[in-house]
Amino acid sequence: MGGKEEDRDPEMAESSDEEIAEASADPAPVKSLTAPDGGVWFVLEKASLEVAKVGKNYQLLNCDDHANFLRKHKRDPAQYRPDILHQALLAILDSPMNKAGKLKGLYVHTEKNVLIQINPHIRIPRTFKRFCGLMVQLLQKLVIRATNGPDKLMKVVKQPVTRHLPIGARRIGMSYSAPKVVQLKDYILTTKEDTPLVFVVGAMSHGKIEVDYIDDLVAVSAYPLSAMWAIARICNALETQWNIV
Ligand SMILES: C[S@@+](CC[C@H](N)C(=O)[O-])C[C@H]1O[C@@H](n2cnc3c(N)ncnc32)[C@H](O)[C@@H]1O
């Protein structure tokens, strides 16, 4: 737990013919002195990430720019919401919890069944247009390397996601329609302090996460939240628990 990225998943250390992308790595995060060893992993499920040739270019399909194209191909534009994934990634990666070095793993599982490993040190483009450009590159080349160093920042990896998750972790699924609503800061106290925590959050607009690898399914509010807000609740609770200010 808490080793280098290569220690946790040898796939991140493989070399391949990767494309250099417009992404860069932040400097290694400062470790929180008060944080115990554990750490947190996120899996974002049912993410809408699909590339198609629209006109002359390959583009990331989204409901705003490609509504006519999608209808023409008998698809429901409302299902094409990569903006939800963009917001969710920014919420996780920008969190004080990540800056404190507590984010140990981040995976995106797409609606089209592609599994992507994201390096917690990535600085994701802040504008949606540039995010789309980066994701098109990733889905075509299968890897994105930093412009300012040797790090692999995003990579398509083998499934299932469970082979990338730490042994002995508590895997918690998040859903508004879960049978129990919990106060997350109290709920995480029921887990031993150094147990790795895996949170599974939906990155889609409708429906709920349907996975068979979680230990528990909880709601963290009595209201339906955006993925970004559900993630904010998780980050806040963990930052309080780990005394990250
Ligand atoms: C926009 S919602 C998806 C819509 C779906 N109807 C739902 O609430 O599950 C995106 C994700 O945020 C999380 N989420 C939303 N509201 C939540 C709540 N009250 N408690 C826990 N997770 C929630 C879930 O993981 C959900 O898949």
Give 3-state DSSP helix, strand, coil % of the chain, rounded to 5. 30, 25, 45
Q: Is 224 in the pocket of ligand 1 (CB under 6 A)?
A: yes
pLDDT for position 165: 96
Say how many Å lie between the CA of residue 175 and the centre of ligand 1. Answer: 5
pLDDT for position 19: 37
The domain of 34 spans 21-241
Higher per-residue pLDDT: 86 or 147: 86
**Residue located nearest, by CA, to atom 15 of ligand 1:** 225
Residue 173 alpha carbon, nearest atom of ligand 1: 25
Residue 148's pLDDT band, with cuts at 50, 70 and 90, is: confident
CA triple 238-244-245, angle to 5 deg: 125
Say how many Å lie between the CA of residue 173 and the centre of ligand 1. Answer: 10
CB count within 10 Å of CB 216 equals 15
> Minimal CA–CA distance to 238: which of 192, 202, 203, 189?
189
Distance separating alpha carbons of residues 49 and 112, to the nearest angstrom: 8
Say how many Å lie between the CA of residue 218 and the centre of ligand 1. Answer: 10
pLDDT for position 150: 85
**Range from 35-49, 50-64, 148-162 carrying the lowest mean pLDDT:** 35-49
Contact 134, 21 (CB under 8 A): yes
Does the structure show a pLDDT above 80 at 172? yes
Q: What is the pLDDT of residues 212-222, one digit of tens each?
A: 999 999 999 99
Q: Is residue 2 part of a domain?
A: no
Q: Is 209 in the pocket of ligand 1 (CB under 6 A)?
A: yes
Distance separating alpha carbons of residues 221 and 57, to the nearest angstrom: 42
Q: Is 45 left (phi over 0), alpha (psi -120 to 50) or beta?
A: beta
Residue 97 phi, psi dihedral angles, 5° rounding: -60, -40
Question: What's the average model confidence in pLDDT over 60-76?
Answer: 96
CB count within 10 Å of CB 127 equals 9
pLDDT for position 24: 60
Residue 15's pLDDT band, with cuts at 50, 70 and 90, is: very low
pLDDT for position 26: 57
Per the structure, how many domains does the chain have? Answer: 1
Contact 140, 51 (CB under 8 A): yes
Residue 203 alpha carbon, nearest atom of ligand 1: 10
Ligand 1 pocket test: pick from 83, 89, 174, 188 the residue with the most ligand atoms within 8 Å of its Cβ.
Answer: 174
Q: Is residue 6 part of a domain?
A: no
Q: Is residue 13 part of a domain?
A: no
Q: Is residue 216 part of a domain?
A: yes
Q: Is 227 in the pocket of ligand 1 (CB under 6 A)?
A: yes
Q: Is residue 221 part of a domain?
A: yes
Question: What's the average model confidence in pLDDT over 188-205?
Answer: 94
pLDDT for position 1: 36
Q: Is 200 in the pocket of ligand 1 (CB under 6 A)?
A: no
Q: Is 237 in the pocket of ligand 1 (CB under 6 A)?
A: no
Residue 201 alpha carbon, nearest atom of ligand 1: 25
Q: Is residue 139 part of a domain?
A: yes
> Residue 211 is part of a domain; what is its CATH number?
3.40.1280.10
Q: Is 174 in the pocket of ligand 1 (CB under 6 A)?
A: yes
Say how many Å lie between the CA of residue 209 and the centre of ligand 1. Answer: 8
Q: Is residue 5 part of a domain?
A: no
What mean pLDDT, rounded, does the chain reach?
A: 88
Residue 152's pLDDT band, with cuts at 50, 70 and 90, is: very high
Residues whose CB falls within 8 Å of the CB of residue 97, separated by 6 or more in sequence, listed in order: 40, 103, 235, 238, 239, 242, 244
Q: Look up residue 143 and give its two tokens.
A: 């890897």
Q: Is 48 in the pocket of ligand 1 (CB under 6 A)?
A: no
Question: What's the average model confidence in pLDDT over 1-29?
Answer: 42
Locate tokens 């969190």: which residue?
95
Question: What's the average model confidence in pLDDT over 116-120?
Answer: 98
Contact 237, 185 (CB under 8 A): yes
Residue 32's pLDDT band, with cuts at 50, 70 and 90, is: very low
Locate tokens 């899996």: which residue?
43
Does the structure show a pLDDT above 70 at 3? no
Q: Is 97 in the pocket of ligand 1 (CB under 6 A)?
A: no
Higher per-residue pLDDT: 32 or 59: 59
Higher per-residue pLDDT: 16 or 136: 136
Distance separating alpha carbons of residues 161 and 104, to the nearest angstrom: 14
Supply the DSSP string of 147-204, one letter for each residue. Answer: TTSS-EEEEEEPSPGGGGSPTT-EEEEE-TT-SEE--HHHHGGGS-TT--EEEEEE-S
pTM confidence score: 0.87
Q: Is residue 15 part of a domain?
A: no
Q: Please list the alpha-helical segments (H only) found in 9-153.
A: 67-72, 82-93, 96-99, 128-141
